[in-house]
Amino acid sequence: MSLTVQFKFFDVSQVKLADDESSFLAEPGNITSVASGSESVFFGSADGVVRILSQTFKVVRSFKAHDTGAITHMKQVQGTSLLVTIAEDLSNEPVLKVWALDKLEKKTGIPRCQSTLTIHNGRKQFPISAFAALEDLSQLAVGFANGAVTVVRGDLIHDRGARQRTVFESEEPITGIEFREGNITTLYIATTGRILTLVISGRGQGQPAKSLDETGCGVGCMAVDKATRDVVVARNDAIYYYGLHGRGPPFGYEGEKRMISTFKDYVAIVSPPKSNAMPRGNPLSRAFGIGPTDDVFNTSQFTLLNTEMKFVAHQEQISSQVKAIVSEWGDLFVLTMDGKIFRYHEKPFAQKLEILYQRNLYVLAIHLAQKAGLDSAQQNVILRKFGDFLYQKGDYDTAMQQYLKAIDNTEPSQVIRKFLDTQRIHNLIEYLEELHDHHKATSDHTTLLLNCYAKLKDVDKLEEFIKSPGDLKFDLDTAISMCRQGGYYDQAAYLARKHGEHELVVDILIEDSRRYAEALAYIWRLEPEVAYFNLMKYAAVLLQQCPKDTTQIFIDYYTGSFRPKKDAIVIPNAPVTSGMSGGISIASNAVQNLAALLPLPYMNVSSVQSPASAGEQKSTLSQAQIVETTVEEPAPEYKVPKPRTAFSAFVDHAQEFIVFLEACIKSDNLREDDKVDLYTTLFEMYLHTATSKKEGERRAWENKAKKLVEGKNIPIDTSNVLLLSHLSNFRDGTILVCEQQGLYFDIFRSYTSTQDTQGAIQALKKYGPEEPALYPAALAYFTSDPEILAEAGDELDAVLKKIDDDGLMAPLQVIQTLSVNGVATMGMIKKYLATTIERERLEIATNRRTIETFRSDTDTKKSELSNLATKPVVFQAMRCKICAKPLDLPTVHFLCSHSFHQRCLSAEEDVSDESVECPLCSQQNQTVRAIRRAQVESAERHDMFLDALRRGKDGFGVVSEWFGRGVMGVGSSE
């Protein structure tokens, strides 16, 4: 392959030397060898002098290295101050010296010679044609024009001796020698006809030389690539690289080559102009660069070739032949036969890029940037320019490839704007996907990508995008929103589920997909708190669409027994037939559909599959069934909410509400305040349901309501029962509450208000013994209307008899009550009046006799008092009433006709004191006084009088009694 791409990547300048410094260069044939290293350039001359030049190309030191012969080969050991020189003349064997340039002899002032060695060639006087040395100078190789190679081993630095051995002999002259170091040290030997390798240390040492190529090279046409340690050989047709295992691929570059050297990534090649005829001499002369006499005056072509990238970095014609090529200080120097030195300085990388840009060689620019180790940001600049160039040419696919490579350091909008056209939407999708893969996408990029998928209706790509493994590459909320807007509800639900957005999953299933059973199944598989939030949010629609299952989840949650459902994948051996689906419940179908849509929480992915028999078709996951698993574990702990928080969800769902309330009432862990809410609400729902039913069903619901509030300790407020019963015209509830509260009069009045005479009669018989006031009310009701009176029948007489027997009303009150409506006749109460009049006549007669008796007794008492106060009293008692002995003085007589010895009464008491009483009559007198005192005290207690008046059946009798006690008096005295 011929290389034709050429550039001017080097700036060339001639090194300006002072006249006194350049004189040794200008003398023809004076410079016989050139070397560089350790910040210096070394020139060896024909007279054995070594000159050391600094970076400014001034001779900083010169010394006589050899007394005889010309210095034909030199090597500076990089990083040290050691210099190896070889001088030779054909009359003697070559002499090798090692110099320590930093150590000067005190007497002469020249560098110290560390060691001197004569190189043997079997006493054959042939010139040295090639020389190579290891960096530590432990081994050196010298090739001669007679085809012999001598290897020198030893410590030449410290002059501790060295051994020489001829390791190779050939009939062809040696044109090049190079070392390759590694686990083994290999010597590459070039002759005019072959390329060989010889192991001189390590495994394989002592074996004969191995031929790598049956074609040799000329003198100066072998070098070493310091980066790869490969040996580079230049021939007229190409540049060849030789590694450990043989020759590598050649890099075609035709033309005669006289000298090569390696510099950085380049191979420096010196060749005659292509127009010149090839020298017509013998092969040996051509191999050593010896041609006709006029070749000395020919110009040379100097080329810097990058064989890896296959381009010429610099090429020019030099007016004189090249003597040597060396590199130091980062530049390349060429010494010509006429003593001129040219500096080749590589242009800055930015300038090289500009040259490539001008020629649109972006691929080469990228390769150069990679080779130079530029960071990704700088490389991406080249890639973007390349992409822009391809875009302008209309090669959109290839341009996009460049933009994708530069995605890390490119503003996405610069690329996106170029590909917004519909015809380039596939390129745009590719770029947006790559943005997401690199986690550089914003929510706007996600929106745009999903819009592109939607525009192309590419569901497969959409699913591949949202189901990509690894970290989240896009804005989740944006992706879900766009999927919903585009109608890709399943994909939106998958995204929400995958990233734990349970509320969004339920919202999508209900609001968008209308898959209510699947939504409920999903809620049932969430943690309690999350499930509760979603259940309450969508309770109304779920109760409308899935009443039974929704009610059950409410019951489970509010009774503290909620357990998130868990599932397992069961893959049957044979595919499930469509006929089996009929036996699957709605809930099972919902779970099956949901599992096909997105991964369920608590999904047991370890499928259960029994081994298939031979010949059966292997079941796939698409044939799997999702079944609920029962795991014996306690329900998760969560705070059970108050039942009333669920009431609003059951609006317009009365039957489900009743089921929920009944289940909650049966729960064991109800708080008292919750019981009140539940019982009251359930009672109301029973009555509400009853009002909408026909007679038979209505009665059944009313019985449920009645049974709910029957008994004692029912946690329901009676006022609520009364109110609800009244609003629903549920009389049994009202009656039941009144019975529990002892409000019998209210029960009776509820019957009379509706003119339910039979009910009133039954209430009178049931509650009358405990509530006597019902009889006067019944009397008034029975006589309020002729029809009621006719329906009551004999009950009127029974009521009148009860009133009369118990004295519940005065006869006058009875007459007044009966005369209000004019319904009752005298004939109806004739018996009652006759009995009453007869009884009162007897009572009047009895009262009159009692009055006469009291008057007679009063007159008798008054007479006795008068006699005691005005007439003398004769005491005729003969014995003492205490000791029963005859009376003797002193004797005490009392007006009650009792007499006593004074000593029997009291020796200490003064009998003349009027307070002394008869011992026999004192107790009776005290009783009378106490009664009187109580009467006086009670006469001032009007509250007691009023209370007795309220409780007494005979008010007049009570007044008479209290009048006798002096309650009406103005004063009191004993």
Tokens representing 675? 């019981």
| Residue 729 scores a pLDDT above 70 | no
Map tokens 């909620």 to a residue: 562
How far is residue 536's CA from residue 662's CA, in Å, rounded to a whole number? 20
| Residue 285 scores a pLDDT above 50 | no
| Residue 780 scores a pLDDT above 80 | no
Of residues 669 and 283, more confidence is placed in: 669
Confidence (pLDDT) at 721: 56
Question: Which stretches of 738-798 are assigned E, i.e. beta strand?
Answer: none
Q: Tell me if 48 sits within 8 A of 66, measured CB to CB.
A: yes
**82-96 tens-digit pLDDT:** 999 999 887 888 999
CA distances from 702 to 341, 512, 733 (A): 123, 43, 9
Confidence (pLDDT) at 576: 41
Number of Cβ atoms within 10 Å of the Cβ of 533:
15
Which burial class, exposed, middle or buried, applies to 325 when counting CB atoms under 10 A from its CB (0-12, 13-18, 19+)? Answer: buried
Helix (H) or strand (E) holding 569: strand 566-570
Percent of the chain past pLDDT 70, that is, above it, reads: 72
Q: Tell me if 918 sits within 8 A of 946, measured CB to CB.
A: no
Of residues 526 and 592, more confidence is placed in: 526
Map tokens 């705070």 to a residue: 639
Confidence (pLDDT) at 575: 45
Of residues 560 and 116, more confidence is placed in: 116
Q: Tell me if 890 sits within 8 A of 905, measured CB to CB.
A: no
**241-258 tens-digit pLDDT:** 998 778 888 888 888 889
**111-136 tens-digit pLDDT:** 999 899 999 887 788 899 999 999 88
Q: What is the mean pLDDT of residues 515-528?
A: 83
Q: What is the mean pLDDT of residues 416-441?
A: 80
Give strand pairing partners of 387. Answer: none
Of the candidates 726, 716, 714, the one whose C-alpha atom is nearest the C-alpha of residue 753 is 726
Q: Please say whether the dihedral angle defined by the alpha carbons of residues 387, 390, 394 and 400, taken in this order, is positive or negative.
A: negative
Q: What is the DSSP letter of 692?
A: T
Confidence (pLDDT) at 141: 93
Give strand pairing partners of 263. Answer: 266
Strand order in the sheet with 603-608: 603-608, 566-570, 625-629
Task: Note if the bond before 890 is cis, omega within 30 degrees.
Answer: yes
Q: What is the mean pLDDT of residues 586-590?
A: 62
Q: What is the mean pLDDT of residues 28-36?
A: 88
Mean pLDDT is lowest, of 287-296, 721-730, 751-760, 906-915, for: 287-296
Q: What is the mean pLDDT of residues 288-311?
A: 70
Map tokens 């050139």 to a residue: 34
| Residue 923 scores a pLDDT above 60 | yes
Q: What angle do CA 676, 680, 685 make, to 5 degrees?
A: 150
Confidence (pLDDT) at 969: 61
Please, which residues have CB within 8 angstroms of residue 770's CB and are 6 or more apart in sequence?
A: 742, 744
| Residue 280 scores a pLDDT above 50 | no
How far is residue 614's CA from residue 362's CA, in Å, rounded to a whole number? 62
Across 112-121, 420-429, 559-568, which has the greatest mean pLDDT?
112-121
**Termini Cα distance of the chain:** 160
Give strand pairing partners of 181. Answer: none
Confidence band for 72, pLDDT divided at 50, 70 and 90 = very high
**685-698 tens-digit pLDDT:** 776 776 766 766 66
State the Rg of the chain over Cα: 67
Percent of the chain past pLDDT 90, that is, above it, reads: 14
| Residue 66 scores a pLDDT above 60 | yes
Three-state secondary structure readout of 477-522 = HHHHHHHHHCCCHHHHHHHHHHCCCHHHHHHHHHHHCCCHHHHHHH
Q: Tell me if 423 sits within 8 A of 446, measured CB to CB.
A: no
| Residue 332 scores a pLDDT above 90 | yes
Q: Please say whether the dihedral angle defined by the alpha carbons of residues 589, 593, 598 and 604, taken in this order, is positive or negative.
A: positive
| Residue 240 scores a pLDDT above 80 | yes
Helix (H) or strand (E) holding 345: strand 341-346
Confidence band for 597, pLDDT divided at 50, 70 and 90 = low
Please, which residues have CB within 8 angstroms of residue 207's CB and are 6 or more apart in sequence?
A: 199
| Residue 794 scores a pLDDT above 60 | yes
Q: What is the mean pLDDT of residues 845-865?
A: 87
Q: What is the mean pLDDT of the chain?
A: 77
Confidence (pLDDT) at 270: 92
Confidence band for 43, pLDDT divided at 50, 70 and 90 = very high
* Strands 566-570 and 603-608, sheet pairing: parallel
How far is residue 896's CA from residue 529's CA, in Å, rounded to a whole number? 100
Confidence (pLDDT) at 232: 93
| Residue 619 scores a pLDDT above 70 | no
Helix (H) or strand (E) holding 790: helix 786-792
